[in-house]
Structure 1
Amino acid sequence: MTNRDLIIFITLSFMWSLSFIFYRVGVPEFGSLTFASLRVIFAGLVMLIFVLISKKNREGIRENWKVLALVGLFSAAVPFMLFSFSARSVNAGVLAVLNASVPMLSGFIASTFFKDRLSKKQILGLIIGVIGVVILMSESLFGGQNATSGSSLLPMGYGLLACVGYALGANITRNYLNDVSPVAITAGSLIIASVIMLPVAIYEFPYGKSISAQAWVSVICIGVFSTAIALIFMNQLIKSIGPMRATSITLVIPIFAIILGYLLLGEALDTPAIIGSVVILFGTYLSLELSVTRMIKS
């Protein structure tokens, strides 16, 4: 993993963490399904610009549209829909833990179906990272009024299926779109996903309800920055360091989310958050097979 990859990894963690802030502002006014649909649609509109101004991107999409359709389904349309259903009755802590299963699922799919073997160090790092996420979210998971009940098992299943979609989409990208540019991959998959999500947005939109400017800004920002631009970075990482290492970003995102929540929303920064963050960083360090000495030298 080069220093450039590491910078992209950290930047992407921050950009996706911002989506938690945008969700907090926009979902109460739009509703979960409408917000998720508009997120994909705005992202697709942004990527349409890249398609119109670049012949190379158009050719890449035209030659690989079938595979890109699968990536759009598994990496955007289906997961966003499933997480929207899951979020109705499962608290954010549990969803974060479910989301942290993506690198493990990605590694399993890669090693089982694509013969991409993981080292013992990577496997250990992923396990430690998941433990760190559990510590990070321990209060939400095991205490308080919003702890998950048995009635949330089916919605939790929706969330887990969404994670399977993310993992599968990452592996498809790495193994079947390696010669396609990250911009073309992102543009093709998001444009196709936005076409799929458009009827949902039209049907679920809260007609007659006044939507604030803040809510509109949040859905536009999550579509442009936390989806379109972020997925360009993600597809670059997948091609550069592989699907398992790239999706291990889901272990780091809760750290940024807690910091942003503390700075922007005044949320508490407690001991489990600090301990969990340290454990996650150590696990991620192992799973990415980083070397402090090599990084300092370079």
Structure 2
Amino acid sequence: MAGNSLKWVYLIVLSLIWGSSFILIKKGLIGLTPVQLGAIRIIFTAFFLFIVGFKRIKTIKLREWKWVILTGLLGTFFPAFFFAFAETEIDSSVASILNSLVPLNTIVLGFVVFKIKSTKRQVLGVFIGLTGTLLLVLNGASVNPNQNYLFVAFIIAATLMYAASVNILKRYLQHVNALTIAVGNFAAIVVPALLILAFSGFFKAEALAAPTLKPALLYMLILSLFGTAIAKVMFNKLVHIATPVFASSVTYLMPIIAVFWGILDGERFEFIQGIAALVILLGVYLAHKRK
């Protein structure tokens, strides 16, 4: 298949995989607590990555480990729990749209913390994106008065952590193979995840006997295998055969898939929320548009 056609295949498949991850989290929470879900997601993904790349750990230099550990905590560990807690109160479709703040937060943190210069267009994109976020949250709170929209703070915190991780990767680990970084990340966080799971009550007899446990574990298995392990490899391949700008456009398609799954699952999604989502994506587009 020609490279131009193949990149579109990768883009569509990645959008389907990552756009479906939010509904998988929601379904997993039916049989797991947020703490258990976050821990199991990390453990399952570590298992898959170790199968294909465990030997790569020894190639990580001692001076690089602090950045590998930090990006593992910020880019995977804490967000895995934060998104789980957020979706106990917030619809999966709303969570997916707010996840689109990652590119905007990357620019903000790059400027504030890492002193990476921003253009006027990027600054405008950030303000437009934040306006859309405010509109989405306020409208969502009125449409779903039974949901606690203060839990949006978990998602915003997670997107800030993702953004910090991206900036650290770009500055300190750009020379390290992507699979090597991923394996190192999970080598650093899998033991804390195992300890958290052990103290979460997961291994109690009544928890293991719950009829909702097996479906929840199946959802986490799918999310870990496809949403993290396979998707990471596919995204790296997409970056190789296409431009970074094209690869980042997966951000625009993910919410469409997530909203579709949310509506099928009975979530309410109003016209104003759709407008707010478009405003956020417009901000992301302006922030990443080439001159």
TM bin, normalised by shorter chain, reads 0.7 to 0.9
| Residues 289/115 of structure 1: CA separation in 2 closer, same or farther (3 Å cut) | same
Residues 187-213 of structure 1 deviation map (CA, whole Å, 9 limit, x = unaligned): 211232222211112222133323454
Partner in structure 2 of residue 295 of structure 1: none
Aligned-residue offset at 1:145? 2.2
| Residues 18/172 of structure 1: CA separation in 2 closer, same or farther (3 Å cut) | same
Aligned-residue offset at 1:8? 5.7
Higher mean alpha-carbon deviation, 214-223 vs 110-119, is at 110-119
Aligned-residue offset at 1:235? 6.6
Unmatched tracts of structure 1, length 5 or more: 292-298
Question: In structure 2, the residue corresponding to 1:30 is in which secondary structure?
Answer: coil
Q: Distance in 1 between matches of 2:269 and 2:155?
A: 26
Residues 239-294 of structure 1 deviation map (CA, whole Å, 9 limit, x = unaligned): 9749xx95x866653332112333x4355564235434443443333222158xxx
Higher mean alpha-carbon deviation, 225-234 vs 95-104, is at 95-104
Tell me if structure 2 keeps the 8 A contact 1:111–1:118.
yes
| Residues 7/146 of structure 1: CA separation in 2 closer, same or farther (3 Å cut) | farther
Match for residue 15 of structure 1 among 11, 14, 17:
17
| Residues 112/67 of structure 1: CA separation in 2 closer, same or farther (3 Å cut) | same
Aligned-residue offset at 1:111? 1.6
Q: Distance in 1 between matches of 2:118 and 2:11?
A: 19
Aligned-residue offset at 1:68? 1.1
Q: Distance in 1 between matches of 2:237 and 2:107?
A: 18
Tell me if structure 1 keeps the 8 A contact 2:89–2:147.
no
Q: Are residue 171 (structure 1) and residue 167 (structure 2) matched?
A: yes
Alignment of 1:275-286 (within 5 A): 275-286=275-286
Tell me if structure 2 keeps the 8 A contact 1:71–1:189.
yes
Q: Distance in 2 between matches of 1:123 and 1:238?
A: 25
Q: Are residue 195 (structure 1) and residue 191 (structure 2) matched?
A: yes
Tell me if structure 2 keeps the 8 A contact 1:58–1:184.
yes
RMSD: 3.6
Residues 28-66 of structure 1 deviation map (CA, whole Å, 9 limit, x = unaligned): 1112111111111111111101214xx5x3444355333
Tell me if structure 2 keeps the 8 A contact 1:94–1:148.
no
Alignment of 1:147-186 (within 5 A): 147-148=147-148, 152=150, 156-186=152-182
Tell me if structure 2 keeps the 8 A contact 1:102–1:163.
yes
Q: Are residue 61 (structure 1) and residue 57 (structure 2) matched?
A: no
Q: Distance in 2 between matches of 1:133 and 1:10?
A: 25
Q: Distance in 1 between matches of 2:266 and 2:157?
A: 32
Task: Give the aligned residue type for 2:116.
Answer: D
| Residues 212/82 of structure 1: CA separation in 2 closer, same or farther (3 Å cut) | closer
| Residues 124/258 of structure 1: CA separation in 2 closer, same or farther (3 Å cut) | same
Aligned-residue offset at 1:88? 4.4
Tell me if structure 1 keeps the 8 A contact 2:98–2:133.
no
Partner in structure 2 of residue 259 of structure 1: 260
Q: Are residue 230 (structure 1) and residue 226 (structure 2) matched?
A: no
| Residues 281/100 of structure 1: CA separation in 2 closer, same or farther (3 Å cut) | closer
| Residues 156/278 of structure 1: CA separation in 2 closer, same or farther (3 Å cut) | closer
Task: Give the aligned residue type for 1:175.
Answer: R
Task: Give the aligned residue type for 1:223.
Answer: S
Higher mean alpha-carbon deviation, 84-93 vs 120-129, is at 84-93
Partner in structure 2 of residue 76 of structure 1: 76
Alignment of 1:95-110 (within 5 A): 95=95, 99-110=99-110
Aligned-residue offset at 1:70? 1.1
Q: Distance in 2 between matches of 1:200 and 1:12?
A: 30
Partner in structure 1 of residue 116 of structure 2: 116
Q: Distance in 2 between matches of 1:138 and 1:161?
A: 18
Residues 155-206 of structure 1 deviation map (CA, whole Å, 9 limit, x = unaligned): 5544443333222111111111111111111121123222221111222213
| Residues 277/146 of structure 1: CA separation in 2 closer, same or farther (3 Å cut) | same
| Residues 147/283 of structure 1: CA separation in 2 closer, same or farther (3 Å cut) | same
Aligned residues: 279
Q: Distance in 2 between matches of 1:191 and 1:234?
A: 21
Partner in structure 1 of residue 43 of structure 2: 41
Tell me if structure 1 keeps the 8 A contact 2:71–2:168.
yes
| Residues 237/106 of structure 1: CA separation in 2 closer, same or farther (3 Å cut) | farther
Q: Distance in 2 between matches of 1:202 and 1:195?
A: 11
Q: How much identity, in percent, do the aligned residues show?
A: 27
Tell me if structure 2 keeps the 8 A contact 1:129–1:281.
yes
Tell me if structure 2 keeps the 8 A contact 1:18–1:257.
yes
